Amino acid sequence: MLAGRMAASAASWAGLSLARPLVMGILNVTPDSFSDGGSHAAPHAAIAAGSRLLAEGADILDIGGESTRPGAIPVTPAQEQARILPVIRALAAQGAVISADTRNAATMAAALDAGAAIINDISALTHDAAALPLVAARGCKVVLMHARGTPATMNDRAVYDDVAGDVLAELLAARDRALAGGVRAENIALDPGFGFAKRGAQNVALLRATARFVATGHPVLIGLSRKQFLGALSGEAEPAKRDPASLAAGLFALGLGAHIVRVHDVAGTVQAFHVWRILNARYDG
């Protein structure tokens, strides 16, 4: 870790107060995402869905045009941009805080130009050599997620001595590369990367270690909505029916200090988080 470069615990991020947990709504503009592929593949359908998520209380919309589920087929940056840019422009015009879920530098630049405020990169700025200098130059917020390999190979890389310790060390190494490349510490959020080169019980162990990631001082994003390991825990084979399991896991993460939870079910999550805050004496009116 770079000496003296650890972030202080942030009070806000991307213009949003962290006094309460933030809900990031998932908007996949793809034909093949694992849970909702094809539901919002057309721009008009994605824009309508994004408007609905905002009305339900989403603080951030995470818009992606490339499925990164295990075994997914990559798309070109041009295909990715054709899918997401009209959606970003329309929803940014509605006042939404937009996160662009991409690992391609050209798409990052185009998304920021279209109104995105956050880059959410599953490769932690390593997939594309131009990504780190771009994010540093733009001064935007960035989510660094832990993963190993590619969507085609990640399941073969899920070998750890200590999953939480190893993931934290690798994610902090990515954070330090970003800092060395000019990204400001206060712009960085961290995502342990559930389901990305983690299998079964590894995800459970990682979730139980959420407080270790919170201790870095960076906002911590938890993305576990409808993931396969929750299907195994709940006995629910169909991803779209795993929202109750996702909600239980998200509330568990909040109890350990997580700041942002990335979800498909925004309405249910907003309602549950509101009650959770009241019951934990964290309600601010």
Catalytic positions, please? 227, 262
User: CA 207 to CA 197: how far, in whole Å?
Assistant: 14
Tokens of 157: 């890389």
- Is the separation of the CB atoms in 194 and 163 below 8 Å? no
- Is the separation of the CB atoms in 85 and 111 below 8 Å? yes
Distances in Å between the Cα of 186 and the Cα atoms of 84, 147, 175, 254 are 27, 22, 11, 21
Angle at 25 between CA 241 and CA 124, to 5 degrees: 105
- Is the separation of the CB atoms in 116 and 100 below 8 Å? yes
Residue of 134, 126, 78 lying closest to 108 (CA atoms): 134
Beta-strand ranges (E) seen in the chain are: 12-13, 16-17, 22-28, 60-64, 98-101, 118-121, 141-145, 188-191, 221-223, 260-263
